[in-house]
Structure 1
Amino acid sequence: MEKFKGKTWKFRDCIDTDVIIAGRYLRTFNPEDLAAHVMEAEDPDFSSRVNKGDIIVAGWNFGCGSSREQAPVAIKTAGVSVVIAKSFARIFYRNAINIGLPVITADIEADEGDILEVDVNEGMINNLTQDKKYTIKPFDQTMLDILESGGLVNKYLNERGQ
C-alpha cells in the first residue's frame, strides 16, 4: 500500500457521525454533496480548506453515534487520505475499511498543520514537522487487500473479474 503524506487536521474526542456529516444532509447519496458538508459542525470551513492527501488526527471514540456509511464516505471524498485516532467506534472503523478509507488507532503527538507521513506497510507514522516517529500495528493482509482495492465492494468485483 502506498505511503500517505499530508497536513494534519486535529479534532477532539468523541467526534460522532452527526458531527462528521449532519443528518440533514443524508437525503443524498452523492459523495461530492456529502464531502461539501463534512465536519462543518466542528469547522465550518473544513471542506473548503482540506486538500487531497490531508490527514485527520483525533482523540478517543472517533465516529461514535449513528451507524452511517455516509460519514467515512464524506471524509474520503473530501480528500482525506487516512484518519488516525486514539480509538474508533467499531461500526465507524468497519464502515471506513469497507469503503477503502484507512483508519489507524494510535496515540500520537501532532498539532494542526503538522506534516505527517504514514507507512502502513512498515507500521510507521512520522511527524515530519516535529521530527517524531511512532510505531503502529500494521494491517493484516485481508484489511490491506480491502484498502488497496478501494473498499470491500471493489475487492469483491476485482476477484470476480468485473
Structure 2
Amino acid sequence: APRALRAVGIAAIIAPSFARIFYRNALNLGLPLFQAELSADVADGADATIDRSSGVLTVGGYARQLPPPPLWLRQVWDEGGVIAYYLNHGRLPLGEAR
C-alpha cells in the first residue's frame, strides 16, 4: 500500500494509528508518516504542508504541532528509504538511545 500511495504522489500521511506492516513498508520506502488525530481539524483531501523537521502541519493558515520525528527518521526520509540510506552511507541509521 505505501508503494501505491507514493506512486500517485502522496508525500506524507497523517493518521491516528498505523498497522506495523504498513509503518515498516512506509519506512523502507521513505514515505513520511505522522501519528495524530486530526478528524476535527482537517477535512479529507485537504492540501497541507508539513515541516518534516519540526512536525508543524499547516492547513489553510491553521498550524498545528505534530510530534516531531527523530533525526534518524528524517535522515531515512531524506535519503528515500532504508535501502537508499544504506547504499549512500554503508550502514543502517541508528535510532535514538532508549
TM-score, with normalisation over the residues of structure 1?
A: 0.51
Q: Does 1:117 align with 2:37?
A: no
Larger Rg: 1
Distance 1:80 1:132 in 2: 21
Q: Alpha-carbon deviation of 1:120?
A: 1.7
Q: Does 1:154 align with 2:84?
A: yes
Q: Alpha-carbon deviation of 1:143?
A: 0.9
Q: Does 1:136 align with 2:61?
A: no
Q: Which residue of 1 aligns with 2:9?
A: 79
Residue 59 of structure 2: which of 127, 139, 160 is its match? 127
- Unmatched 5+ stretches in structure 2: 91-98
Mean Cα deviation higher: 147-156 or 103-112: 103-112
Structure 1 stretches of 4+ with a deviation exceeding 2 A read 112-115
- Unmatched 5+ stretches in structure 1: 1-70
Percent identity reads: 34
RMSD between aligned residues:
1.3
* Equivalenced residues, count: 88
Q: Alpha-carbon deviation of 1:136?
A: 0.9
Distance 1:123 1:159 in 2: 25
The answer to whether the 8 Å contact 2:54/2:69 transfers is no
| Per-residue Cα deviation, 1:102-142 (whole angstroms, up to 9, x for no partner) | 011011221134221111212211111xx422111111111
Q: Which residue of 2 aligns with 1:100?
A: 30
| Amino acid paired to 2:56 | M
Q: Report the secondary structure of 1:91's partner residue.
A: helix
